[in-house]
């Protein structure tokens, strides 16, 4: 189950976060997906995470590495080591598959099930291997398979990279959310919303690779307008997913603000690493903090 947790849950927000490959993130640009608030007592950095990458993306730009070196505390969305907990793995297993009396064919509409079958055949895998997965987990599975086809793995994600470095450096590691909270974002989705999430995933698999160049450009130049436009376009094409986006992105941003403000009161420097889309556009962490009057510098 460890294999499952690191490969699947490590990119559970892949659909809503930056993907990148082919062009190193260390390329010299005017800005980065990195911001700083400087108070009288400390500096707090905000780094947009790319949850899944390839090895050739490293080394990172020194500006990003310097922010890590300056930090005494490194904060992630969740504590990545908790993914290896036997209790979490068992819970994930229980919530990701159907019981004996139900399966994917009985749960999905005929149209969605036919699309699932077609995608499974495209990957050259037997349908029986997937028929016990619940729709939310199947959506993530397809995303992983497509990402692997593109040469991307979560082990090279920005959050995993800095989590490992923080442990090695003996820095204090903290989290904005528990793994149970993050799991519940998907496991507690009603069946209709799970199917919607799956349908959205199926529709976007074919264009995932085509979107990469735009996403890379947005990341490398720190272009939040371009990054946010990718979400805006998705909502325009699939307006029914807007509430799901709000739950995964906007509502969580708002929940994080009190914790972030507490870090701004500390006398230690802090690096906060969250998915890139949490720092992009209206309602983002950066936007909410600016609304509160904080002066934020993009590096």
Give the C-alpha separation, 216 to 202, whole Å.
Answer: 22
Nearest to 64 by CA among 181, 143, 158, 138: 158
The total domain count for the chain is: 1
Residue 126, in any domain of the structure? no
Q: Does residue 104 sit within a domain?
A: no
Asked, for residue 150, whether it belongs to a domain, the answer is yes
Is 91 inside any structural domain? Answer: yes
Is residue 219 within 8 Å of residue 279, measured between CB atoms? no
Q: What is the pTM of this model?
A: 0.89
Using alpha carbons, select from 34, 43, 36, 22 the residue that is nearest to residue 61: 34
For residue 224, tell me if it sits in a domain: yes
Whether 109 is in a domain gets the answer no
Note whether residue 124 is domain-resident. Answer: no
Calpha distance 198→192 (Å, rounded): 10
Q: Which of 50, 77, 47 is nearest to 182 (CA)?
A: 77
**Cα(108)–Cα(136) distance, rounded to whole angstroms?**
12
The two beta strands, 73-76 and 297-298, are unpaired
- Per DSSP bridges, beta strands 270-275 and 297-298 are unpaired
Task: Please report, in tens digits, the pLDDT of each residue of the chain (299 residues total).
Answer: 334 444 444 444 444 443 333 344 544 457 899 999 999 999 999 999 878 777 888 899 999 999 999 999 999 999 988 877 888 888 888 889 998 889 999 999 999 999 999 999 999 999 998 999 999 999 999 988 888 888 877 788 889 999 999 999 999 999 999 988 988 999 999 999 999 999 989 988 888 877 766 777 787 789 999 888 877 877 788 888 888 888 889 999 999 999 999 999 999 999 999 988 899 999 999 999 999 999 999 99
Beta-sheet strand order (sheet of 43-49) = 172-175, 73-76, 270-275, 43-49, 34-38, 297-298
Task: Tell me whether residue 123 is in a domain.
Answer: no
Tens-place pLDDT, residues 102-160: 999 999 999 999 999 999 999 999 999 899 999 999 999 998 888 888 887 778 888 99
| Domain span at 146 | 2-97+133-298
């Amino acid at each position: 189950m460890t294999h499952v947790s690191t490969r699947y849950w490590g990119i559970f927000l892949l659909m809503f976060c930056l993907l990148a490959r082919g062009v190193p993130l260390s390329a010299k640009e005017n800005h980065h997906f990195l911001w700083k608030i400087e108070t009288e007592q400390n500096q707090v950095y905000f780094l947009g995470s790319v949850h899944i990458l390839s090895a050739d993306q490293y080394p990172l730009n020194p500006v990003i590495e310097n922010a890590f070196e300056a930090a005494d505390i490194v904060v992630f969305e969740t504590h990545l080591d908790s993914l290896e907990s036997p209790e979490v793995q068992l819970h994930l297993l229980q919530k990701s598959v159907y019981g004996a009396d139900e399966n994917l064919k009985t749960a999905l509409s005929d149209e969605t099930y036919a699309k699932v079958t077609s995608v499974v055949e495209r990957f050259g895998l037997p349908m029986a291997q997937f028929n016990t997965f619940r729709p939310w987990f199947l959506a993530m599975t397809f995303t992983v398979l497509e990402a692997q086809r593109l040469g991307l793995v979560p082990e090279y994600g920005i959050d995993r990279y800095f989590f490992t470095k923080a442990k090695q450096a003996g820095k204090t590691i903290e989290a904005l959310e528990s793994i149970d909270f993050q799991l519940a974002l998907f496991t507690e989705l009603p069946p209709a919303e799970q199917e919607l999430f799956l349908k959205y995933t199926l529709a976007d698999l074919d264009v995932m690779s085509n979107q990469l160049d735009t996403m890379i450009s947005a990341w490398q130049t720190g272009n939040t307008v371009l990054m946010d436009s990718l979400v805006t376009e998705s909502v325009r094409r699939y307006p029914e997913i807007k509430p799901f986006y709000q739950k995964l992105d906007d509502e969580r941003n708002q929940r994080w603000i009190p914790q972030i403000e507490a870090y701004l009161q500390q006398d230690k420097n802090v690096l906060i690493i969250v998915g890139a889309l949490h720092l992009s556009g209206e309602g983002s962490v950066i936007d909410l903090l600016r609304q509160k009057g904080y002066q934020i510098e993009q590096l």
